[in-house]
């Protein structure tokens, strides 16, 4: 699913004394089946942008085209758009409410006028997609699960709607490192196996560098940079630090190694690449 944004502006409390421009004349395109990492400091406009993409917020001005549909048109049927655009908000386990995992995941598809057979198929498929065995977890209360498992149930409930675009807003917030790695691994696998377009908002630069194809850096309601992870993190590290963002730890490591005399190329992005450069350097010295 492709997305085209044209001159998008959003002002909170417009025409009021404390009006705040959260999005400032954004224009960009996300291509079908892309995996976009959305990064920016708190207050940069990330969450506001996300809420525009399925019509939860109407822009003050500008247009949003989702797969050819201008969702900012006055008479647009947003129900159809929301079937195609799934959003997993931060701390999605707070939205779980049914008595069993199966019923919670089935809630969304049940509102699509589907047959019971189709709903059951979707529940089973989505549970398996997020790594939850259907027979083992279907009858459990979602509130008895671990934090990472609750996130999986919440994500399963969204993908059971079969969206073409999946948006995740800080999906690993509050999880321990193990839970965070599980969720990022799950999201990467969903992208590969389902061929859906994914937009992922996260503060984890190391994970963004590893799994995103495109990075969008937001700063005070504007797009500071947009490009591949290698372009963004290797060419703009000083500016990222200026606007209060981290860079992947592997880049910090590479910089320190260069300072100690190691001949490491400037575009490394993963620990595997750094390891390869170190081995190459050491062999050259032997």
Q: Residue 177's pLDDT is what?
A: 87
Domain limits of the chain?
A: 3-98+147-233, 248-286
- pLDDT digit string (tens) for 107-129? 999 988 899 999 999 999 999 99
Q: Residue 256's pLDDT is what?
A: 92
- pLDDT digit string (tens) for 2-29? 999 999 999 999 888 888 999 999 999 9
Give kind and range of the element (H or E) at residue 231.
Answer: helix 229-235
- pLDDT digit string (tens) for 125-158? 999 999 999 999 999 999 999 988 999 999 999 9
Give kind and range of the element (H or E) at residue 134.
Answer: helix 134-137
pLDDT above 70 as % of the chain: 100
- pLDDT digit string (tens) for 208-254? 998 999 999 999 999 999 999 999 999 999 999 999 999 999 999 99
Q: Residue 83's pLDDT is what?
A: 84
Q: Residue 95's pLDDT is what?
A: 85
Nearest to 126 by CA among 177, 81, 166: 166
Pairing of strands 35-40, 214-219: parallel
Let me know: does 6 contact 183? Beta carbons within 8 Å.
no
pLDDT above 90 as % of the chain: 72
- pLDDT digit string (tens) for 75-85? 888 888 888 89
Radius of gyration of the chain (CA): 21
- Spatial distance between the Cα atoms of 144 and 18, rounded to a whole number of angstroms: 43
Q: How confident is the model at residue 1 (pLDDT cuts 50, 70, 90)?
A: confident
Which pair of tokens denotes residue 39?
A: 């990064």
Dihedral, CA of residue 211, residue 214, residue 217 and residue 218, to nearest 10: -110
Which pair of tokens denotes residue 279?
A: 């081995």
Give kind and range of the element (H or E) at residue 272.
Answer: helix 271-285
Q: How confident is the model at residue 286 (pLDDT cuts 50, 70, 90)?
A: low
- pLDDT digit string (tens) for 166-182? 999 999 888 888 888 88
Average pLDDT of the residues in 66-77: 88
The CATH class of 3-98+147-233 is: alpha beta
- Spatial distance between the Cα atoms of 41 and 244, rounded to a whole number of angstroms: 7
> What's the whole-model pTM score?
0.91
35 HSE (CA, 13 A, CB side): 19
Q: Residue 64's pLDDT is what?
A: 96
Average pLDDT of the residues in 272-278: 91
């Amino acid at each position: 699913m492709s997305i085209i944004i044209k001159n998008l502006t959003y002002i909170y409390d417009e025409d009021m004394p404390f009006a705040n421009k959260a999005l400032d004349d954004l224009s960009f395109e996300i291509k079908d089946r892309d995996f976009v990492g959305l990064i920016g400091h708190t207050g940069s406009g990330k969450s506001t942008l996300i809420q525009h993409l399925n019509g939860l917020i109407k822009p003050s001005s500008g247009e949003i085209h989702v797969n050819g549909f201008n969702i900012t048109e006055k008479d647009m049927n947003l129900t159809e758009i929301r079937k195609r655009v799934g959003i997993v908000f931060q701390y999605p386990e707070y939205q779980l409410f049914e008595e069993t995992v199966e019923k919670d995941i089935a809630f969304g598809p049940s509102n699509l006028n589907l047959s019971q057979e189709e709903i059951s198929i979707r529940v089973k498929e989505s549970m398996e997609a997020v790594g939850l065995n259907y027979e083992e977890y279907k009858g459990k209360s979602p509130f008895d699960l671990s934090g990472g498992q609750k996130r999986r149930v919440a994500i399963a409930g969204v993908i059971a709607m079969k969206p073409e675009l999946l948006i995740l807003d800080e999906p690993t917030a509050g999880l321990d490192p193990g839970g965070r790695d599980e969720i990022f691994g799950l999201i990467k696998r969903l992208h590969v196996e389902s061929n859906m377009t994914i937009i992922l908002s996260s503060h984890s630069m190391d994970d963004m560098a590893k799994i995103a194809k495109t990075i969008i850096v937001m700063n005070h309601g504007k797009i500071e940079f947009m490009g591949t992870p290698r372009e963004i993190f290797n060419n703009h590290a000083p500016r990222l630090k200026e606007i209060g963002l981290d860079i992947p730890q592997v880049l910090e490591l590479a910089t320190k190694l260069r300072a100690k005399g190691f001949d490491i190329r400037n575009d490394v992005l993963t620990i595997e690449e750094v390891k390869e450069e170190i081995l190459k350097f050491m062999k050259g010295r032997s």
